[in-house]
């Protein structure tokens, strides 16, 4: 494998928790019952789609202006958590994994739905470890559409079949599979059952093995 595409939220940093807390605050204001389980459906999908799911849950009807206002409100709450982030928040094993892949000629991309991705990479100081960044500002179709990963592979100049995607969301695993890439789930196997392999975190992944593997998805 030659290309390594990392999702951001919930893979590199535990911002999935901050997204949840910010959506939860909005949900409470709107009188919508919103649980950690409900939040699984928001993982990996765009900000606009996340709001739609939340409004569907509460059967709330809204105008376009209200939707814009609520998305902005959620993002302001979310950015308060982001403003306090530093390198300590990078999840266990991630920095050594990025360094190992880089040292072994792996090409590394970020493939995230977030429009705040560059800010978070800057706050945590890991921006220089990426060869390219594709985020929510660069794509028009949200995961499970494969656009974000296809574009990342293109920018890395690596064939999709030679790429590995690291993802914590069901939508992201589906996007990687549709793109014809190897999908590695970070999280729980029963949630990420469509992934090729699932690991609880990066300390458990045998990267040497991954680098030397050829893709099972290649024709
Ligand atoms: C994804 C998260 O990475 O980015 C989603 O998993 C989030 O939960 C999406 O909604 C968009 O993020 P942002 O930062 O642009 O609101
Ligand atoms: Mg994620």
Q: Three-state SS string across 86-150, please?
A: CHHHECCCHHHHHHHHHHCCCEEEEECCCCCHHHHHHHHCCHHHCCEEECCCCCCCCCCCCHHHH
Q: What is the pLDDT of residue 133?
A: 98
Query: Whose Cα sits closest to atom 2 in ligand 1?
Result: 44
DSSP state of 163: E
Residues 156-164: what's their mean pLDDT? 97
pLDDT for 18-76, tens place per residue? 999 999 999 999 999 999 999 989 998 899 999 999 999 999 999 999 999 999 999 99
147 contacts 178 by C-beta, under 8 angstroms: no
Mean pLDDT over the full length of the chain: 95
pLDDT of 219 strictly over 60: no
The closest alpha carbon to 91, from 8, 18, 184, belongs to: 8
Query: Whose Cα sits closest to atom 4 in ligand 1?
Result: 114
The whole model's pTM is what? 0.93
Q: Ligand 2: distance of its center to the CA of 212 in Å? A: 26
Catalytic residues, by residue number, are: 7, 9
Q: What is the pLDDT of residue 213?
A: 83
């Amino acid at each position: 494998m030659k290309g390594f595409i990392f999702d951001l939220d919930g893979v590199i940093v535990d911002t999935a928790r901050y997204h949840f807390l910010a959506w939860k605050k909005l949900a409470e204001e709107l009188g919508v019952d919103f649980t950690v389980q409900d939040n699984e459906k928001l993982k990996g999908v765009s900000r606009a789609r996340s709001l739609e799911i939340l409004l569907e849950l509460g059967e709330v009807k809204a105008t376009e202006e209200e939707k814009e206002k609520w998305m902005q409100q959620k993002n302001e709450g979310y950015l308060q958590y982001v403003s306090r982030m530093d390198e300590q928040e990078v999840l266990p094993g991630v920095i050594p994994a990025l360094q190992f892949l880089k040292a072994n000629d792996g090409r590394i991309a970020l493939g995230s739905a977030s429009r705040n991705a560059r800010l978070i990479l800057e706050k945590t100081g890991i921006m220089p470890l990426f060869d390219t960044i594709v985020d929510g500002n660069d794509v028009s179709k949200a995961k499970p559409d494969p656009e974000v990963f296809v574009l990342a592979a293109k920018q890395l100049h690596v064939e999709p079949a030679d790429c590995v995607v690291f993802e914590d969301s069901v939508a992201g695993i589906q996007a990687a599979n549709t793109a014809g890439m190897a999908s590695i789930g970070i999280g729980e196997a029963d949630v990420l059952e469509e992934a090729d392999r699932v690991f609880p975190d990066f300390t458990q992944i045998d990267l040497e093995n991954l680098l030397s593997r050829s893709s099972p998805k290649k024709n």
